[in-house]
Amino acid sequence: MSLTTRRELTAAIGQRYQVADRVGKKMILDEFTQVTGYHRKHAIRVLTAQPASEPKTRVVRRLYQEAVKEALIVLWEASDRICGKRLKALLPLLVEAMERHGHLELEEGVRTQLLTMSASTIDRQLHLVRERAYGGHKRRSAATNRVRKMVAVRTFADWEKPLIPGFMEMDLVTHCGPRAEGSFVHSLVLTDVASGWTECVALPVREQALIVEAITGLRPKLPFPLLGLDTDMTVPS
């Protein structure tokens, strides 16, 4: 008798044996030992053993699928490659706006994973993409990173209400068209967080001294005192 046949016989007779009374178990055991040649005690162990369960296949599910990562890269590029903490705060508004204007189409599961992703996970997911984008070099020097660790990072999600006018967000808009080669005009944009008041200043080039000069000239023209200036720009000296 082959091993497979013995297993099939054991499975069929084992069910009868476990529900039979004492006399019935004796008769079944006699028949089983004669057919299989098993010792009586071994036959009892075989017939009373629990059937082996099917081995469970471990399903390894990647929490952040390729679709999520690809969508994250698109959102990172659309946000001007900001850091993970700022992107985390911006994602709900950015996803909604890009879907509304037809620039992005996400499945519900992908959207949920994007919006629940932590800032540190966003940075890990974008690590290799950042390296390729910056030609294998870090965007900021070690000295700059040391300074950044000493300065608290604040996003628009961290502002407390009610606010008073005077705290402004600042950024540069690049007017370079489809190519970013050579020199081109920039717009320095400052927006008050509380009121939404916005000021724009044209700059012939992106240069630190011109930005400082523009802010200095703009301050007396504002309808409120400039109390704080928030920016994540890296401006060459």
Q: Do 81 and 126 fall within a single domain?
A: yes
CATH number at residue 186: 3.30.420.10
When pLDDT is averaged across residues 4-21 and rounded to a whole number, the result is 76
Instruction: Record the tokens describing residue 111, joined without a space.
Output: 């959207």
pLDDT, one tens digit per residue, over 68-92 is: 888 999 999 888 888 888 899 999 9
pTM: 0.41
pLDDT, one tens digit per residue, over 98-128 is: 899 888 888 888 889 899 999 999 999 898 8
The pLDDT of residue 122: 92
Is residue 54 situated within a structural domain? no
The pLDDT of residue 57: 46
User: How far apart, in whole angstroms, are the C-alpha atoms of residue 45 and residue 10?
Assistant: 11
Is residue 56 situated within a structural domain? no
Q: Do 143 and 211 fall within a single domain?
A: no
Q: Indicate if the pLDDT at residue 58 is higher than 50.
A: no
End position of a domain, from candidates 117, 150, 183: 150
Is residue 187 situated within a structural domain? yes
Q: What Cα–Cα distance (Å) separates residue 187 from each residue in 2, 155, 182, 223?
A: 84, 22, 16, 20
Residue 71 near residue 94 (C-beta atoms within 8 A) = no
Residue 171 structural domain:
159-230
Is residue 143 situated within a structural domain? yes
The pLDDT of residue 143: 52
Amino acid symbol at 160: E
Is residue 220 situated within a structural domain? yes
pLDDT, one tens digit per residue, over 203-213 is: 888 888 899 99
Is residue 235 situated within a structural domain? no
3-state secondary structure of 203: strand
Is residue 169 situated within a structural domain? yes
Number of domains in the chain: 3
Q: Do 78 and 146 fall within a single domain?
A: yes
Q: Which residues contact 8 (CB under 8 A, 6 or more apart)?
A: none
Q: Which residues contact 129 (CB under 8 A, 6 or more apart)?
A: 73, 76
The pLDDT of residue 178: 73
